[in-house]
Structures are given as C-alpha cells and as structure tokens.
C-alpha cells in the first residue's frame, strides 16, 4: 500500500515549504517514523517524518525546491508495487485536503444592514446663491432635526442657542411658535431595506465644477480678506427704492445693491478686476460680474455683463431672469462665461461668514454673509447695528494684500454710504 | 514500523512473571497493548490530518505517553472523574469517549465531542465523566479539586484524577489547590505527566527541588512511577485509587514519561531543546508499547501475528475516525450563539453585538 | 414589609436558598467562623455546618477554581470575595473557566455559581482597595453581572442569582451594608435578572446608574427638584442581562441622559450604555450623553482628594444642567 509523502504544514502559518535536503535517497528502505527530509518553513527548519513503510520509490521535489502545503513530494511503497500512477502534484493541495484547507466556519448570514448613507438631499433653491466653498452644514441635535421635520420648520432658518450655535429642541419649538415654517427640503432618508449604499453618477456639471475648482485651490496662492460692513444705510436705501418701484410691481434685493456697489468699486480698482494668464495679467476695464446661483445638483454662475454701467433695476431684473433660466438649464454658453469677478451670497442660509473659491482665471471672488443685528461700539457706546461680513478671496499672483484691502475699503464705503456709488 | 517489526531484543533470563508481579492478568495486559496501539495510531492519524490542514490551531500529541495514559486510567471506575490539560485526546478515549467523536472534535465538526466548539484542547464528555480539556496551564488543578469537593460533599466514593504537565507545578493555583485538598482531605489524585520538559524548557531549569517533593510541603503523600512501564503504572494507580477511595485523602504522583514528538505541532521533535540522540534513544529503548510487547512475547501471551492483527485493527479504527470526521458536517452557523448561556433570562439583553438575539 | 439592613437582606437570601437547595454552599475567607468579614454570613455556619459554610485559605485563584470545578460536578457554589479587589487573583478561573465552560463543552457543563462581595470605594481605603470591578466581568460573554443598591434589591436579586444557571458576579458595596430599607416579606421574594427599576420619576432628564451610585443619583435628583427640574433615576440593577427597554423608555421621555457610575471612564459601564443609546435612540437625543465617573486616577488616600475623585451629587447636577443647556 503506497504512502504519499506530502509537503506538510509544519507550522500553523506555513503555506509553502522549501526542501532543504533529503535524508533518504530513492531506493532506501523507510520505516514509519523515520526522518526522511528537512523542510524550511516560515519559522524554522523542521523534520519531515515518514508515515508508512517501504522503499522511497520516487522523489518529486529536489533539494532547494519549494512546494505548497499539501503537494505530493514523494512516494513510499513496497518494491514491487506499481506507483506510476502517482504524480508529484506541485502546488495543488490533495483533493481531500482542499475541502478543509479553506477557513472553517462559514460566516453566519448577517442581520439586515441597518442603515444606508443618505441620498444627497436637494438643497432649498430659494434665492440666487449657492454654496461654492464651505458646505452649509446645520448644527442641530438629532432630536431637533426630527422635530423640525415633523413640525414643518425649516431648520436652516432656525438660530441655535446651544453650544457653537447648535440648534436644540427649544429653538425648534420657539421657531415653530414664531412662525418660521418654510417648507423643509427633502430630508436625508435612511434606506431601511438592507442596501448599504447607493452610487450616484457624477453629472457633467459636477465634474466641471470639481475640475475647475480643484485647479483653483491647487495652484492658486490664495489669501483672504474679511471686512464687516454696517448695512443700515443700504437697508434704508432699499426700502426707499422699493417704495419708488412699488407702482411698477418691482422689488430690488440687498444683494442687487451689493452687486452694484461691487461693480462700482471694481471700476476704481481694476487690478482686482483682472485675470491671471500664463505669462500675463489681463486687466479689464469693464466689470462682468458672475453671480453664483444654486440649481438642482449644483451651481452655475450667470454673468451680468457690464454691471458697472447698468442701473440697479436692470441688474436686479437680469439677475432674476438669468437665475430662472439657469435653474431650468436654459442658459447659453456666453451667458455663463467671460466674467471678470465673482460674487456669492449665502446670507439667506444664516451664514455669517465664509470663504469662496476663486473661479479661475479670475483673480478674486467675494463671499457675502447674512445681515445680523450685532452689538458694536460706536463713539464709545454699545449699539446694535445690522452688520454683514464679507470675505474676499484673492489670487496673490494678481492682487496684493494692500490692493485687495483698498478695494474692500472702497466697497465698504459705498455700502455704508450708498450715495458714493453715484460718484 | 518500529513497534511491530523490530525483533524482540529482551531475553528474559530470570523467570519472573511480570504480570503476576503486578497483578495483571494476561487478558488485561493484552487489552492494555490493544489500547496503547490504538492511541499510538490515533495520534499519528491526528498528526497527518493536521499536517494536511484538516485540524487547525493548537494540537498536542500524546505519542510516547500511552503507557502513562492506559496505566493510570484503566484501574478507574466508570463513576470516577478524569480531568486533564490539553494533551488529552487519548485520555478522553481511555475514559470512554468514542474515537470518532474525538477526531470529529479535532476536525471542528458538528459530531465532535464538544460540537466543534472546543477543539483539541477542550474535549468534554459529561456522560463518561471526562471533564476536559483545559487550555490554561495549571487551570485544571483547582477545578479538579472542586470535583473532589463535590464527591466529599455528596458523600460519594468516587475519585478524581487530574493530569498536568511538569511545568504546571510552578503555577500558584497548583499549590493553592493541593493545600486545600490536603486540609479538607479530598479524594483527588494529582498526576504530573512528567516528560521532563515544559514546552521548550527542561524542568531542571525551572525548579530547585525534584518533582516528587512538590506535594510534600502540603502534606500530601507523594510517589513516583515509570509511566513507560504500563504494568507498573497500572498496579500503582490501582492501589492508589483504592487508598483514596477509602478516605485516605489526596495523593500526588510523579508519573515519569517521555514524549516522542514536539510539545505541539509547531514544535520540532528534536534538535532545539532536546538532543536528537536523546529522543532517538528514548524511542528505541523506552517505548511503552515495545516494552509491554516484549513482556507479552517473552511470556508467550502474544505473537507477531497477533500483534500485527491488533495493529491493523488500531489503524482501521483510526482511519475510520478520520473518515467519520471528514464526513461530519461543520457546525451549523445557527449554533454560533448557542450555549453561551445556560439560561436565557426572560428579561434583559444578553448579547451586545446586535446579532446574538434570537 | 420588614425594615432590614442590606447586610441582613443578603443573609436572609443566603439562608433561604441554602434551605431550599442542599447543593448550595458558600466558600470564602472568614465566611464561617468569623461570620464573614462584613458579617453577611452571620449565623450560617451554625445552621448549615462546615461543609456548606467553608472557611478557605487565602487562595482566591485556588478556591474560585475549586468552586468552578464543584459547579462542573453539579453543585451550586457561592464564592465570596472579601472584596472584588482581591478577585483579580481569581479572574482566570472566572473568565477562562466559568464563563466559557458551557460554550466550549457545547452545553454539557452549566456553571450555576455566584461570585459575590463588595465592589467599589468605601472610605479612604486607598488605591488597591477601592476599585469598581463591574466591567471586567460584564465584558466577557458567559458571565452575568448584578449590582443591587437597596436591601430589597439585594435580597431578591441574590436569590435569583443563586438560582440562575450561569455564573453571576454579584456586586455589593461596603458602604451599603448598613443601609436600611423596606424588604417584602413574601415567602420567596425574587427579583428577576434583567429588570431595571425607576427609583425616581421626572420628565426633564434621565440619570441612569447602578450600584451604590443610585443613592448619589437620588440625592442629585432631590437637589434638581429644588430648581424645578425633574429627573428620572433609572437603576439598572442588572448590568448583564441589560434592561434596554427601560433605558430606551426613559431616553424617549426626557431626551437627555447622564450616566453615573463609580468606576473609571475608559470603557466603563457608562461607555457601553452611551454607545447603545446613541445607536438605538439617536433621534431622541437633544444633547450628547454625559457621564459622571470616578476621576481617571487610582484612588488617593487623603480625605479631600478622595472626595474630589469620587462622583457626588453636585457633579451629577452640573452634568444634568449641561445637557439641559442651562
């Protein structure tokens, strides 16, 4: 009865072994228990013992050879037995060994995976702004979020009294009773059918946004300038202007005024109204303002051409019309290209301050926060004033700190005394 | 194979009947060699199965120590208890656990003695009072002392034998247990299977005193016996069990033996901490099977043919166990959480991974 | 209703169970002739004899292992650790033997034994004698953990623990032994494992706790009442099996939780409870869950330092106010 000599697992972690030397030769008599070879394992050199009696009829693995655990490396059999049918099976485990060479217990069927990541929520597309840089994450307790949903309160409009502005239950309850009940955006849902995740294909628009803005943050040496503006006079101006427009059924927004002031200020600081190109800076004499608009699945920046030369009403009308067509994805290419400066306003989300990412090849972008009643010191007295924070991102290759600061000073002056825009 | 083919070297010149000397009938002696052959072939089959990946984890073979096993367990009654460490496959069989169930446990299958949940080191069989199978060195010594406590508590007359390796006598728990057994006069027999090495460390390197003296400070009578001489071992344990059973209190035995393989399947047979020549010499001269074989041949109680027939049967049973184990299914995944708790309380959560709940 | 001390309630429980089941015996240091280091086993040697009330040598590992072995053979031992600080010496036998035996043997050897003794700090006992040991036992599958805070709970739960078929770490408290309380006089008063108890009710905040800290929680709840804040105090009573339903109910009611324990913060019992609450009651939370624990230090000896280290009602109140955003 022939006995196959296997490459044995001589250490628990061994997967293959190297034959160091045979201690018996073909033709030698072998007794069960004799040491017949030395095998180098992953841990040490170990002895291989014979498991049968007979003659060592055939060696399939020479000294120095390597074989996987379970490979047949020799045959011991009586001299007269026909062993031609036994092959050295290098590398493959014996058929019997294969079954149990696999790890033993099959993993028990897992319970249904409890949650799946949310499908991305549609942002509330109420006004002409969109997140360009920092995402507008609302800090709220899980309970507050749930209650807001149940009560029909737009949590983005609730101001939080918890640490770090966290919105908590009492804030939602207060908001409900004071009537901030705008329809809530489609909430994130947990899929409960056991699906672990869902892949959402990236749209062309999203690819473009990604590509372009990655090329901005990457190579553009950006610095940021922040300024607080007292918006009291702008608010009065708006009221007064809207009073005049009432008979035409028209209304302008704070943002329209900000756009107009920005265009006027840029006229006075053309080095901020410029573009970086390979080898030269292009300074524009006209101001073509890109206004960030949130649309389903992303953002687009329609351009108000020659904003410096347009009146407030015209700017307002154009922005509204462009934004509307932007949302319907009906903008022509020339309507969202060719801008010299960009502006983004997240104030209506309750954003106090943010930094926007420059749209290359432009040299600057203005990020406008919301107007908040803020205690400030005026002539040594503490007063509450409506304040707005703007942050300008500047490409240092084109705009220096002083230049950007001077532009902002001009802009601040215009907003704090809007009649300066007329100059 | 050495055990059955070598010509008997011993020529007895004295007309001493070893069997009479030890009070062992020829039938009993034949039974002993039959058992030893089975244990030898069984463990060799285990070794082969491990080497080709059927058995995983730790695996400690009893090859060379069969005489110690047979000699000490054979005198026991069915209602006596046996507890051991982790070199216990053959001790389980000797106590009455089916070889098929032992092999299937080693293969990690549902028909194993512990349902595949324990493995080589945790073979349990309540019906035959084989109390495991324990993995922490010396951990079984206090446990066995508790079994002896129960025997005394219920006023029964069984005894408990607990095996340990030579290194276990240095564990604190060993001394704590022996002390309590002595104070309370418990019917426990503490047996050191003294093969001279605690894994890779010779006993002489970790002990100032000799083995037989270990129980003396606790006031427990000690004895030594050559475990390779199964007849002497049998006689010794037969008498000892009676002493203990009769209320004689605990006993300590230095059961001298030798293992012909490494400590475990990861340990080389020789060449690192044991000289190869030493191992070879022991295999040649100190094999409990050949020693008894020679006595049986000399006394004419058995011949070569009879031996080979017995050996063939041993191989057949061993192969049968391997086949049985191979055919036995893996434990059902639904059993993963079974038997963690003997009582699932009516209230409250017992599992905390979200999967254990029924 | 009888008024009993916690100690006497335990004594009654032991006596009743030893009368009921002849396989129940108790072993530990000083439990028999000395009547117990804390007198919990007073009078039991006289009644039951020295095979059932056994004075052991100072051999925690040895006698714990012995009792585990006795359980394997069919008895129902009660192991006393003079304090659980000493039980570290024996933890190999509790975890590697008792907790795992039933599983490793595929159900052949149930382990119906109880390991009992005081846990946690007392007064100025210093670092080695002041440890809260619940988590070492609740961590391992196969071991149940019970922490009674009142005499009634002590009696009812000890009886249930002795009758339970699994190993139970039954954790008392030196500072509790003299505590008096009402104990029902039923013939066989049992409180099942796995049932928490609301010891104070209020809808504003949930203080969840176990063991002797229940009394600190009640004190804090009383203080909060003066400010018009009403707290639920949920006494878990059993750490494993855990009454998750009661926990979820109180969270849903108040939306804010403070976990109080006398152990250390890293991976303490509270850490486990917090994890489960945020997983299973996320949408009910109006605030993060806070924990009040022993300071993350070994217990100092000096009286003032020890008081700074231990949880107290003021710290609990402060945590409650924090989760109330006050």
pLDDT per position as a tens digit, C298-322:
999 999 999 999 999 999 999 999 9
Q: Residue B145 and residue C194: Cβ atoms within 8 Å? A: no
In angstroms, rounded to a whole number, what is the distance separating the alpha carbons of residues B242 and B236?
10
Res B14: pLDDT: 59
Give the residue from A345, A341, A337, A343 showing the smallest Cα distance to A363: A341
Cis peptide preceding C192, ω within 30 of 0: no
User: CB of B296 within 8 A of CB of B30?
Assistant: yes
Answer whether A107 sits within 8 Å of B53, measured CB to CB. Answer: no
H/E element, A260: helix A254-268
| Spatial distance between the Cα atoms of B86 and B59, rounded to a whole number of angstroms | 8
Q: What is the mean pLDDT of residues C116-135?
A: 95
Mean pLDDT of A37-64: 85
Phi and psi dihedrals of B270, rounded to 5? -160, 180
Torsion of CA B181, B185, B186, B187, to 10 degrees: 130
What whole-number percentage of chain C has pLDDT above 90?
99
Between CA B265 and CA B269 the distance in angstroms is 9
State residue B357's pLDDT score. Answer: 63
Say how far residue C108 (Cα) sits from the centre of its chain: 28
Chain A partners within 8 Å of B2 (Cβ): 31-33
Q: Indicate the residue of A143, A161, A170 with minimum beta-carbon distance to C284.
A: A143
Domains of chain A: 3-92 (2.40.50.100), 205-422 (3.30.559.10)
Angle, nearest 10°, between helix axes C213-226 and C313-323? 60
Reduce the DSSP state of residue A92 to 3 states and report it.
coil
Average pLDDT over residues C121-130: 94
* B 251-310 residues with CB < 8 A to A: 265-266, 268-272, 283
Q: What is the pLDDT of residue B53?
A: 93
Which residues, including other chains, have CB under 8 Å from residue A179's CB and lie 6 or more apart?
none
Mean pLDDT within A118-122 = 36
Which residues, listed in sequence order, are joined to residue C198 by a DSSP beta bridge?
C234
Among A10-24, B284-298, C99-113, C267-281, name the one with the lowest average pLDDT.
Answer: A10-24
Nearest residue of B to residue C109, measured between CA atoms: B126
Which helix (H) or strand (E) covers residue A206, if one does?
Answer: helix A204-217
| Residue C266 touches chain A, beta carbons under 8 Å | no
Structure tokens at A303: 């351009």
Q: Residue A115: pLDDT above 50? A: no
Of the candidates C51, C67, C238, the beta carbon closest to that of B348 is on: C238
Q: Does A169 touch chain C (CB under 8 A)?
A: yes
| Residue of C257, C279, C286 to mutate, testing the A interface (most A Cβ within 10 Å of its Cβ) | C286
Q: Do B124 and C164 touch (CB under 8 A)?
A: no
CA-nearest of B127, C186, C205 to A169 is C205
Cα B3 to Cα A324: distance, rounded to the nearest angstrom: 97
- In the predicted model, what is the mean pLDDT of residues A159-180? 87
Q: Using the predicted structure, report yes or no on whether residue A95 has a pLDDT greater than 50.
A: no
The pLDDT of residue A123 is above 50: no
Residue A94 has pLDDT above 60, yes or no: no
C64, C73, C244: residue with CB nearest B349? C244
- The nearest CA of chain B is from the CA of A2 a distance in Å of 14
Catalytic residues of A: 396
Nearest-Cα distance to chain C for A184, in Å, is 18
Residue A79 pLDDT: 87
CA atoms within 13 A of residue B172's CA, in its CB half-sphere: 12
Convert the pLDDT of each residue in A329-352 to its tens digit: 778 877 888 899 999 999 988 999
Tell me what the mean pLDDT of segment A26-49 comes to.
84
Are the C-beta atoms of C91 and C56 separated by less than 8 Å? no
Q: How far is the alpha carbon of A159 from chain C, nearest alpha carbon, in Å?
A: 15
Contact C108 B125 (CB under 8 A): yes
Q: Of C12, C17, C29, C60, which one is the catalytic site residue?
A: C60
User: Could you tell me whether strands C168-172 and C144-146 are parallel, antiparallel, or unpaired per DSSP bridges?
Assistant: parallel
Query: Are residues C151 and C8 in contact, defined by beta-carbon separation less than 8 angstroms?
Result: yes
- Cβ-based contacts of A162 with chain C (< 8 Å): 287, 325
pLDDT higher at B221 or B7: B221
Q: Which residue has the higher pLDDT, A90 or C272?
A: C272
Please check the confidence at residue A229 and state whether its pLDDT lies above 50: yes
% of chain A beyond a pLDDT of 90: 35
B96 touches chain C (CB under 8 A): no
Residue C118 pLDDT level (bands cut at 50, 70, 90): very high
SS3 content of chain B, % helix, strand, coil (to 5): 45, 10, 45
Please name the chains neighbouring A, where neighbouring means 3+ C-beta pairs under 8 angstroms.
Answer: B, C
The predicted model gives C32-43 an average pLDDT of: 95
SS3 track for chain C: CEEEEHHHHHHHHHHHHHHHCCCEEEEECCCCCCCCCCCCCCCHHHHHCCCCEEECCCCHHHHHHHHHHHHHCCCEEEEECCCCCHHHHHHHHHHHHHHHHHHHCCCCCCCCCEEEEECCCCCCCCHHHCCCCHHHHHCCCCCEEECCCCHHHHHHHHHHHHHCCCCEEEEECHHHCCCEEEECCCCCCCCCCCCCEEEECCCCEEEEECCCHHHHHHHHHHHHHHCCCCEEEEECCEEECECHHHHHHHHHHHCCEEEECCCCCCCCHHHHHHHHHHHHCHHHCCCCCEEECCCCCCCCCCHHHHHHHCCCHHHHHHHHHHHCCC
Sign for the CA dihedral angle at B95, B101, B106, B110 comes to negative
Closest Cα in chain A, distance from residue B1 (Å)? 5
Look at residue B57 and tell me whether its pLDDT is greater than 60: yes
ipTM (interface pTM): 0.92
What does the pLDDT read at residue C178? Answer: 96
Query: In this model, does residue A394 exceed pLDDT 90?
Result: yes
Which residues touch A346 (CB under 8 Å, ≥6 apart)? A129, A131, A136, A354, A367, A368, A369, A370
- Work out the pLDDT band at A167, boundaries 50, 70, 90: very high
Least confident of A174-188, B281-295, C40-54: A174-188
d(CA C143, CA C169): 7
Do residue A32 and residue B2 have CB atoms under 8 angstroms apart?
yes
The predicted structure's pLDDT at residue B16: 77
Q: Lowest-pLDDT range, A213-217, B112-116, B236-240, B254-258? A: A213-217
The pLDDT value given to residue C319:
97
Q: Residues near A378 by Cβ (< 8 Å), separated by ≥ 6?
A: A385
DSSP-derived letter for residue B117 is: S
Interface contact flag, C192 B346, Cβ < 8 Å: yes
Mean pLDDT of A74-89: 84
CA-nearest of C93, C73, C86, C77 to C14 is: C77
State the pTM of this model. Answer: 0.69
Asked if A97 and B53 come within 8 Å (Cβ–Cβ), the reply is yes
Using the beta-carbon criterion (under 8 Å), do B52 and A43 form an inter-chain contact?
A: no
Which one has a higher pLDDT value, A90 or C14? C14
| Contact criterion met (CB < 8 Å) for C283 and A142 | yes
Distance CA A365, CA A346 (A): 13
Inspect the interface and report whether the beta carbons of B342 and C112 lie closer than 8 Å.
yes
pLDDT mean over C319-326: 95
What is the mean predicted confidence (pLDDT) over C84-101?
Answer: 97
pLDDT average, residue stretch B28-33: 97
Question: Best of A3, A12, A15, A94 to disrupt the B interface by mutation (most B CBs within 10 Å)?
Answer: A12
In which band, very low, low, confident or very high, does the pLDDT at A159 lie, cut at 50, 70 and 90? confident
Nearest residue, CB atoms, C282 vs list A142, A144, A163? A142
Closest CA to B89 of B55, B120, B49: B120
Angle among Cα C24, C26, C30 to the nearest 5 degrees reads 165
The pLDDT of residue A105 is above 90: no
Measured in whole angstroms, the distance separating CA A278 from the mean position of its chain's CA atoms is 29
Summarised one tens digit per residue, pLDDT across range B132-178 is 999 999 999 999 999 999 999 999 999 999 999 999 999 999 999 99
CB contact under 8 A, B139 and C96: yes
Nearest chain C alpha carbon to B129: C73
Say whether pLDDT at A108 is over 70: no
Mean pLDDT of the region A40-63: 84
Q: Does a cis peptide bond (omega within 30 degrees of 0) precede residue C241?
A: yes
Residue whose tokens read 């890293």: C266
Question: Which pLDDT belongs to residue A126?
Answer: 35
pLDDT confidence tier of residue C227, bands split at 50, 70 and 90: very high
pLDDT at A15 (0 to 100):
79
Q: What is the pLDDT, as a whole number, of residue B159? A: 98
Question: pLDDT at position B207, please?
Answer: 95
Determine the distance in angstroms separating the CA of C270 from the nearest CA of chain A, rounded to an integer.
20
Contact flag A168-C286 (C-beta cutoff 8 Å): yes
| Mean per-residue pLDDT over chain C, rounded | 97
Q: Which residues of A touch C282 (CB under 8 A)?
A: 142
Say what the pLDDT of residue A114 is. Answer: 35
pLDDT in tens, C145-172: 999 999 999 999 999 999 999 999 999 9
Q: In what order do the strands lie in the sheet with A29-30?
A: A3-6, A72-77, A54-59, A29-30
More confident position, A108 or A165: A165
* pLDDT for residue A125: 35
C285-296 mean pLDDT: 96
Looking at per-residue pLDDT, the higher value among B88 and A135 belongs to B88
**C287 at the A interface (CB within 8 A)?**
yes
Residue A257 in contact with residue A319, Cβ under 8 Å? no
Q: What percent of chain B has pLDDT over 90?
A: 90
Q: What is the mean pLDDT of chain B?
A: 94
Which of B141, B343, B346 is closest, CB to CB, to C165? Answer: B343
Q: Which residues of B touch C102 (CB under 8 A)?
A: 339-342
Torsions phi, psi for C79 (to 5 deg):
-95, 125
Distance separating alpha carbons of residues C273 and C165, to the nearest angstrom: 25
d(CA C9, CA B346): 24
Q: Which letter does DSSP use for residue B143 in this model?
A: H
Calculate how close chain C gets to B111, using CA atoms only, in Å.
11
The Cα C84–Cα C171 span in angstroms is: 8
More confident residue, B305 or A40: B305
Alpha-carbon span B15 to B298, nearest angstrom: 10
Q: Which residue has the higher pLDDT, A181 or C4?
A: C4
C102 classed as catalytic: no
pLDDT of A186: 46
Q: To probe the interface with C, which of A143, A171, A173 has the most C CB atoms within 10 Å?
A: A143
pLDDT at A189 over 90: no
C-beta of residue A20 within 8 angstroms of C-beta of residue A73: no
- pLDDT of A274 higher than 90: no
Residues of A in contact with C284 (CB under 8 A): 142-143
pLDDT over 70 at A153, yes or no: yes
Choose from A7-16, A87-96, C296-305 the range with maximum mean pLDDT: C296-305
Token pair in block for residue C35: 């009547």
Q: Which of C108, C91, C112 is nearest to C164 (CA)?
A: C112
Q: Which of B117, B135, B173 sits opposite C106 (nearest CB)?
A: B117
As a whole number, the mean pLDDT across chain A is 80
Q: What is the CA radius of gyration of chain A?
A: 38
Helix axes B288-298, B230-243, angle to 10 degrees: 100
Confidence (pLDDT) at A53 = 86
């Amino acid at each position: 009865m022939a006995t196959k000599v296997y490459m044995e697992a001589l250490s628990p972690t061994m997967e293959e072994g190297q034959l160091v030397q045979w201690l018996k030769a073909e033709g030698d008599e072998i007794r069960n228990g004799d040491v017949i070879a030395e095998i180098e394992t992953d841990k040490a050199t170990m002895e291989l013992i014979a498991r049968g009696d007979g003659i060592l009829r055939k060696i399939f693995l020479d000294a120095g050879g390597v074989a996987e655990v379970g490979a047949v490396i020799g045959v011991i059999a009586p001299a007269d037995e026909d062993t031609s049918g036994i092959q050295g099976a290098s590398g493959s485990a014996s058929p019997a060994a294969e079954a149990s060479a696999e790890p033993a217990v099959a993993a028990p069927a897992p319970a249904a995976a409890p949650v799946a990541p949310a499908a991305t929520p549609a942002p509330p597309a109420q006004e002409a702004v969109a997140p360009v840089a920092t995402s507008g994450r609302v800090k709220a307790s899980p309970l507050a979020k749930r209650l807001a949903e149940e009560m029909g309160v737009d949590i983005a409009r609730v101001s939080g009294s918890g640490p770090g502005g966290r919105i908590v239950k009492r804030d939602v309850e207060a908001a409900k009773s004071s009537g901030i009940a705008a329809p809530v955006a489609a909430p994130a849902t947990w899929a409960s059918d056991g699906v672990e995740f869902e892949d959402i294909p990236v749209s062309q628009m999203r690819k473009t946004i990604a590509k372009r803005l990655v090329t901005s943050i990457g190579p553009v040496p950006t610095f940021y300038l922040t300024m607080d503006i007292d918006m009291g006079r702008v608010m009065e101006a708006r009221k007064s202007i809207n009073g005049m427009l009432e008979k035409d059924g028209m209304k302008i927004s704070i943002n329209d005024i900000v756009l107009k002031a920005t265009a006027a200020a840029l006229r006075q600081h053309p080095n901020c109204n410029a573009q970086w190109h390979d080898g030269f800076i292009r300074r524009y004499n006209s101001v073509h303002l890109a206004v960030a608009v949130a649309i389903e699945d992303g953002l687009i920046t329609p351009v108000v051409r020659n904003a410096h030369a347009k009146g407030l009403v015209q700017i307002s009308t154009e922005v509204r019309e462009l934004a509307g067509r932007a949302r319907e994805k009906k903008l022509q290419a020339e309507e969202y290209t060719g801008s010299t400066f960009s502006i983004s306003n997240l104030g209506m989300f309750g954003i106090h301050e943010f930094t926007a990412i420059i749209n290359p090849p432009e040299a600057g972008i203005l990020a406008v926060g919301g107007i908040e009643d803020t205690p400030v010191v005026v002539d040594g007295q503490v007063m509450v004033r409506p304040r707005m924070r703007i942050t300008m991102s500047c490409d240092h290759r084109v705009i220096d700190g002083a230049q950007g600061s001077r532009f902002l000073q001009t802009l601040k002056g215009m907003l704090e005394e809007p009649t300066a825009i007329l100059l | 194979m050495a055990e059955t083919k070598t010509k008997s070297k011993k020529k007895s010149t004295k007309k001493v009947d070893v069997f009479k000397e030890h009070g062992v009938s020829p039938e009993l002696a034949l039974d002993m060699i039959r058992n030893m052959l089975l244990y030898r072939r069984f463990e060799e089959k285990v070794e082969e199965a491990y080497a080709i990946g059927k058995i995983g984890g730790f695996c400690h073979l009893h090859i060379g120590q069969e005489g110690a096993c047979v000699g000490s367990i054979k005198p026991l009654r069915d209602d006596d208890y046996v507890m051991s460490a982790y070199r216990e496959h053959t001790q389980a069989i000797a106590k009455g656990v089916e070889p098929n169930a032992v092999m299937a446990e080693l293969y990690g299958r549902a028909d194993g003695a512990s349902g595949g949940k324990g493995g080589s080191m945790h073979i349990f069989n309540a019906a035959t009072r084989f109390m495991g199978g324990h993995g922490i060195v010396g951990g079984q010594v206090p446990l066995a002392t508790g079994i002896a406590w129960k025997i005394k508590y219920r006023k029964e007359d069984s005894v408990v034998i607990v095996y340990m390796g030579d290194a276990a006598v240095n564990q604190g728990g060993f001394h704590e247990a022996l002390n309590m057994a002595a104070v309370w006069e418990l019917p426990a027999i503490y047996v050191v299977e003294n093969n001279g090495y605690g894994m890779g460390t010779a006993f002489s390197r970790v002990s100032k005193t000799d083995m037989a003296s270990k129980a003396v400070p606790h006031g427990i009578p000690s004895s030594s016996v050559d475990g390779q001489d199964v007849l002497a071992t049998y006689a010794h344990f037969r008498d000892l069990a009676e002493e203990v059973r009769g209320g004689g209190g605990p006993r300590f035995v230095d059961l001298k033996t030798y293992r012909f393989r490494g400590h475990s399947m990861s340990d080389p047979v020789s060449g690192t901490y044991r000289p190869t020549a030493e191992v070879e010499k022991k295999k040649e001269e100190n094999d409990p099977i050949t020693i008894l074989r020679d006595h049986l041949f000399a006394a004419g109680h058995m011949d070569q043919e009879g031996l080979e027939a017995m050996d063939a049967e041993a191989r057949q049973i061993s192969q049968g166990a391997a086949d049985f184990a191979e055919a036995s299914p893996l434990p059902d995944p639904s059993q993963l959480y079974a038997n963690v708790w003997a009582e699932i309380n009516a209230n409250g959560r017992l599992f905390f991974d979200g999967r254990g709940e029924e | 209703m009888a008024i009993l001390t916690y100690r006497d309630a335990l004594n009654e429980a032991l006596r009743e169970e030893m009368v009921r089941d002849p396989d129940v015996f108790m072993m530990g240091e000083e439990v028999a002739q000395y009547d117990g280091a804390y007198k919990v086993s007073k009078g039991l040697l006289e009644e039951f004899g020295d095979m059932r009330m056994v004075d052991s040598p100072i051999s925690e590992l040895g006698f714990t292992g012995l009792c585990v072995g006795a359980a394997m053979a069919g008895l129902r031992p009660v192991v006393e650790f003079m304090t659980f600080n000493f039980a570290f010496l024996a933890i190999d036998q509790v975890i590697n033997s008792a907790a795992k035996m039933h599983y490793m043997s595929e159900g052949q050897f149930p382990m119906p034994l109880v390991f009992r003794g005081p846990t946690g700090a007392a007064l100025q006992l210093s670092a080695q004698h002041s440890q809260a040991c619940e988590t070492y036992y609740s961590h391992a599958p196969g071991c149940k953990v019970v922490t009674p805070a009142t005499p009634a709970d002590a009696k009812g739960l000890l009886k249930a623990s002795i009758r339970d078929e699994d190993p139970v770490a039954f954790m008392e408290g030196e500072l509790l032994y003299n505590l008096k309380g009402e104990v029902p006089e039923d013939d066989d008063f049992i409180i099942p494992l796995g049932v928490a108890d609301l010891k104070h009710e209020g809808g504003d905040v949930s203080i969840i706790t176990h063991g002797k800290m229940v009394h600190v929680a009640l004190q804090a709840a009383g203080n909060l009442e003066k400010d018009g804040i009403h707290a639920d105090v949920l006494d878990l009573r059993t750490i494993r099996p855990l009454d998750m339903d009661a926990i979820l109910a109180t969270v849903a009611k108040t939306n804010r939780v403070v976990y109080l324990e006398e152990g250390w913060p890293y991976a303490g019992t509270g850490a486990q409870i917090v994890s489960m609450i945020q997983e299973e009651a996320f949408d009910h939370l109006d605030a993060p869950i806070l924990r009040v624990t022993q300071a993350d230090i070994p217990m100092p000896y000096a009286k003032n330092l020890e008081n700074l280290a231990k949880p107290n009602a003021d710290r609990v109140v402060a945590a409650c106010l924090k989760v109330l955003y006050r």
